[in-house]
Amino acid sequence: MAARTLRIGLIPGDGIGREVIPAGRRILEALPSSFGLKFSFTHLEAGFETFKKQGVALPDQTVETLKNECDGALFGAVSSPTVKTEGYSSPIVALRKRLALYANVRPVKTTISAPRPVDLVIVRENTEDLYVKEEKTFMHVDGTRFAEAIKRISEKASFNIACMAGDIAVRRQRVRDSGVASLHRRPMVTITHKSNVLSQTDGLFRETALRALGEEAYKGVRVEEQIVDSMVYKLFRQPGDYDVIVAPNLYGDILSDGAAALVGSLGLVPSANVGKDFVIGEPCHGSAPDIEGRGIANPIATIRSTALMLEFLGVEGAAAKIYEAVDANLEEGKLLTPDMGGKASTEEVINDVCKRL
């Protein structure tokens, strides 16, 4: 059988993004030949440094190359200006819109032997809610200011994201049924909302998600719901109870960053921005200017994001092999970066995971 070639765009971005994205490339190149995969790589520009050089944070050429020449991509991190900068906007937010990447998928996982094991996925709608960024400031007649923002929830986006959560729950169960050790016995999706207060917007999200997950394809998936403030409390108190969590954009953003605390570091948490035709793997950490250039950035989030990208490209076996190698590194605990309480360098962790492949 001829090898399948996957074309991957590499977008380091800013700060430690330039140090961890090479880890993704090296992991892909280290995959055993038995998976029948070959890779070609294209280096692309985006980020605040790109903005300072070119006047745009996301060049059109980057978008066109991704659309026309790549199967998937890895995105590193973006620095944000500390003061309002005319003409600058987040390139990753723009990429999500221009490539129709409607889902942000964030697995949060410890090893099974951890004191409080966690194995869940937060699926966040990626295109609307308050993040449509339609805000206005007004001056009241008495001279005081007030501001308002549009919260947009659509039936279509809510249906799509609920189906994505259902598909992930089914796939996770398929992996468990193959004999992989897990905390969970059956697939479950928890719909998170605040429809008791926001009856129109969150009410539409709740109603549509329940309808989507009631379809025949998800008949084996248990469906429950949580009000978002209760969800935050229970997530931190009982994280082992959750399998797949689906939420609108803002709630999903807060829950996924907060859930990183359950595993000890943002340096471990991957994500994928997923659409019907494209996927971008993206570590959840920022550009971390305080450790830039010191060679101690944790590459695990990027390595896991690389595996997550492969999952959505239909290469589940290779993805599972990468997850296994990462878990073995963390389980042994001899080569951990400083954010995990260790002394290992970025390079040492990458080498260790590559050897385990």
Which SS3 state, helix, strand or coil, does residue 67 take?
Answer: helix
pLDDT digits (tens, 9 = 90+) for 147-169: 999 999 999 999 999 999 999 99
* pLDDT for the residue 266: 84
DSSP 246-267: EE-HHHHHHHHHHHGGGTT-GG
* pLDDT for the residue 180: 61
| Residues 254 and 290 both lie in one domain | no
With 0-12 / 13-18 / 19 or more C-beta atoms within 10 angstroms meaning exposed / middle / buried, residue 213 is buried
| Residues 247 and 331 both lie in one domain | no
Domain boundary among 234, 262, 290: 262
For 290, the domain range is: 1-109+266-357
| Residues 282 and 154 both lie in one domain | no
Average pLDDT over residues 222-230: 96
* Average predicted confidence (pLDDT) for the chain: 92
CATH of the domain at 173: 3.40.718.10
pLDDT band at 254 (very low <50, low <70, confident <90, very high): very high
| Residues 8 and 58 both lie in one domain | yes
| Residues 208 and 122 both lie in one domain | yes
254 to each of 135, 204, 235, 248, 251, how far by Cα in Å? 20, 20, 12, 10, 5
Q: How many CA atoms lie within 13 A of 350 on its CB side?
A: 22
pLDDT digits (tens, 9 = 90+) for 271-323: 999 999 899 999 988 899 999 999 999 999 999 999 999 999 999 889 989 99
What is the rounded CA–CA span in Å between residue 274 and residue 101? 5
What is the rounded CA–CA span in Å between residue 3 and residue 173? 28
What is the rounded CA–CA span in Å between residue 87 and residue 224? 43
Tokens of residue 54, six digits: 């070119």
Percent of the chain surpassing pLDDT 70: 97
Residues 103 and 161 sit within 8 Å (Cβ to Cβ): yes
| Residues 141 and 236 both lie in one domain | yes
* pLDDT for the residue 183: 66
Residues 244 and 187 sit within 8 Å (Cβ to Cβ): yes
Average pLDDT over residues 28-47: 95
| Residues 101 and 165 both lie in one domain | no
Q: How many CA atoms lie within 13 A of 77 on its CB side?
A: 27
Q: Check residue 129 and report its DSSP letter.
A: B
| Residues 117 and 243 both lie in one domain | yes
Q: How many domains does the chain have?
A: 2
| Residues 123 and 242 both lie in one domain | yes
Domain boundary among 262, 291, 308: 262
pLDDT digits (tens, 9 = 90+) for 314-350: 998 899 899 999 989 998 989 999 998 899 999 999 9
Residues 171 and 152 sit within 8 Å (Cβ to Cβ): no
Domain boundary among 215, 245, 262: 262
pLDDT digits (tens, 9 = 90+) for 103-134: 999 999 886 666 778 889 999 999 999 988 88
